[in-house]
């Protein structure tokens, strides 16, 4: 059913629910995905986003550090993994990790995101040691590290339960887990794309524990591969239910599934889904942001990554429910085929101002560091958010 065919009564009913602040059901979510009336979906999502976050767009200055790209698993969507012995496989000694982080820490970086492969032989002790050394070297930079999959891996290699793993990592400086490893929780889809055994029961167990220990964590969703809209709805509803229980998710991050760079240095395509998928088109991404914002009504923020969506879609996503931008990597490769580059503070400010919103720099826990009113010349460009359907 598309918007033209969508029963007018159903459309009115969904609108009424959104404007009354009523919780949407699984069926509502699937009906919203079936609509091709993008402007209508955007208007509904923007209403909800404005109720929650006004015309503010949050961002922080964050960079990625990958301690190792060697991984025991071979997830079908993953371009990052390397096997031991491959020419560009690496694992950083602790001092190299600190040197690499220091080199990225200019311009008042506030966060480092550390995500890694499931290395078959690095010992558990290595990870808290890296965090301790990073904390000592960069005391003002908060550490957002490890997916739930990695925490489950640490349970295996340490013999410790997740609660003790988290305690030790927090004592070493861990501020928050990352939201990765979520992909799509539906078992049928997951079986085809995920090659490790951290699924919804363990992923939710580990985030629940993190929330109990006071962390505010993100939750991601990898969309635009073999899943169907009903799987995205199911994914969000599981998270919404867990959020009812813990209140510990700070942000939801829809991530667009990406194909490998065509010119990988060794010519290998590791992304096994690539030959049977296309990447989600911008309209599909905007729809996913809008429906996610409407369904996941108890998560405070929805984030768009400039790295996976590109700058134009990221600006548009701010009108489709997103209110938080991650500029730690930007996909200039979409237009320039020149690889991904992190964005600087001024780039992010201009991106947000140019889209008609007010930038707010935040901490990893979503506390406000600084609200930017905008230089007069920039503030004059837009007096209020520009709606794409106006
Ligand atoms: S666990 Fe899967 S997604 Fe993560 S690095 Fe390994 S292969 Fe890639």
Predicted confidence (pLDDT) per residue in 5-55, tens digit: 678 899 999 999 999 999 999 999 999 999 999 999 999 999 999 999 999
CATH of the domain at 90: 3.20.20.70
- As a whole-number percent, the residues of the chain with pLDDT over 70 amount to 89
- 11 part of a folded domain: no
As a whole number of angstroms, the distance between CA 202 and CA 219 comes to: 14
d(CA 263, CA 370): 40
Q: Is residue 303 part of a domain?
A: yes
Output the ligand 1 site: residues, CB below 6 A.
Answer: 71, 73-75, 78, 80-81, 117-118, 149, 196
What is Dmax (Cα atoms) for the chain? 63
Please state the domain count of the chain. Answer: 1
Distances (CA, A) of 220 to 148, 160, 195, 265, 303: 11, 26, 18, 29, 9
**Which residue's C-alpha comes closest to atom 1 of ligand 1?**
73
When pLDDT is averaged across residues 198-208 and rounded to a whole number, the result is 98
* pLDDT tens for each residue of 318-336: 999 999 999 887 433 323 3
pLDDT of the residue at 147 = 98
330 lies in some domain: yes
Q: Which atom of ligand 1 is nearest to the CA of 69?
A: 5
- The predicted pLDDT at position 106 comes to 78
For residue 144, tell me if it sits in a domain: yes
Identify whether 347 is part of a domain.
Answer: yes
Cα-trace Rg, the chain: 21
Specify if 202 maps to a domain.
yes
Statement: residue 390 has pLDDT above 50: no
Does the pTM surpass 0.75? The reply is yes
Q: Tens of pLDDT along 80-108?
A: 899 999 999 999 999 999 999 999 887 78
Classify residue 2: in a domain, yes or no.
Answer: no
Q: Which is the closest atom of ligand 1 to the Cα of 117? A: 5
Eight-class DSSP state of 177 = -
pLDDT score, position 261: 65
Kindly indicate the confidence band of residue 262, based on its pLDDT and cuts at 50, 70 and 90.
low
pLDDT band per the 50, 70, 90 thresholds, residue 214: very high
**What's the gap in Å between 221 CA and the centre of ligand 1?**
15
Are the CB atoms for 53 and 251 separated by under 8 Å? no
Half-sphere exposure (Cβ direction) of 280: Cα atoms closer than 13 Å: 24
CA distance 183 to 29: 19
Mean pLDDT, all residues of the chain: 90
Task: Give ∠ CA 258-264-267 in degrees, rounded to 5.
Answer: 120
147 within domain boundaries: yes
**What is the residue range of 185's domain?**
37-379
Judge whether 226 and 186 are in contact, CB under 8 Å. Answer: no
Looking at residue 328, what is its pLDDT?
86
Q: For residue 330, what pLDDT is reported?
A: 47
For position 344, what pLDDT does the model report?
A: 86
Q: Quick one: pLDDT at residue 381?
A: 53
Ligand 1 centroid to Cα of residue 117, in Å, is 6
**CA quadruple 216, 343, 273, 116: dihedral, nearest 10:** -50
């Amino acid at each position: 059913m598309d918007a033209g065919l969508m029963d007018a009564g159903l459309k009115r009913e969904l609108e009424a629910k959104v404007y009354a602040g009523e919780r949407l059901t699984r069926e509502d979510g699937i009906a919203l995905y079936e609509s091709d009336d993008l402007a209508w979906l955007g208007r509904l999502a923007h209403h909800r986003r404005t109720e929650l976050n006004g015309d503010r767009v949050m961002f922080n200055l964050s960079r990625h550090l990958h301690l190792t790209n060697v991984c025991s698993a071979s997830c079908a969507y993953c371009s990052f993994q390397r096997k031991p012995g491959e020419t560009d496989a690496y694992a950083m000694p602790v001092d190299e990790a600190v040197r690499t982080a220091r080199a990225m820490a200019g311009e008042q970086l506030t966060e480092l995101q550390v995500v890694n492969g499931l290395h078959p032989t690095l010992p558990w002790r290595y990870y808290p040691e890296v965090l301790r050394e990073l904390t000592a070297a960069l005391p003002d930079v908060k550490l957002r590290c490890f997916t739930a999959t990695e925490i489950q891996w640490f349970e295996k290699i340490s013999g410790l339960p997740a609660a003790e793993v988290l305690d030790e990592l927090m004592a070493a400086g861990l501020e928050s887990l990352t939201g990765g490893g979520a992909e799509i929780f539906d078992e049928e889809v997951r079986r085809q794309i995920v090659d490790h055994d951290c699924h919804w029961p363990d992923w939710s167990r580990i985030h629940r524990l993190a929330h109990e220990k006071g962390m505010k964590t993100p939750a991601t969703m990898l969309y635009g591969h073999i899943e169907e809209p009903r799987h995205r709805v199911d994914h969000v509803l599981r998270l919404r239910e867990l959020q009812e229980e813990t209140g510990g998710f700070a942000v939801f991050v829809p991530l667009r599934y990406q194909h490998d760079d065509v010119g990988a240095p060794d010519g290998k395509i590791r992304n096994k889904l690539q030959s049977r998928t296309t990447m989600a088109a911008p309209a599909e991404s905007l729809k996913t942001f809008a429906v996610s914002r409407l369904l996941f009504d108890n998560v405070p923020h929805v984030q768009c990554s400039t790295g996976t969506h590109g700058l134009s879609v990221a600006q548009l996503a701010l009108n489709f429910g997103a209110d938080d931008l991650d500029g730690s990597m930007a996909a200039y490769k979409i237009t320039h085929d020149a690889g991904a580059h992190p964005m600087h503070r001024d780039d992010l400010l201009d991106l947000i101002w140019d889209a008609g919103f007010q930038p707010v720099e935040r901490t990893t826990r979503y506390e406000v560091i600084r609200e930017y009113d905008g230089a007069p010349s920039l503030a004059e460009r837009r007096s209020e958010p520009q709606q794409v359907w106006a």
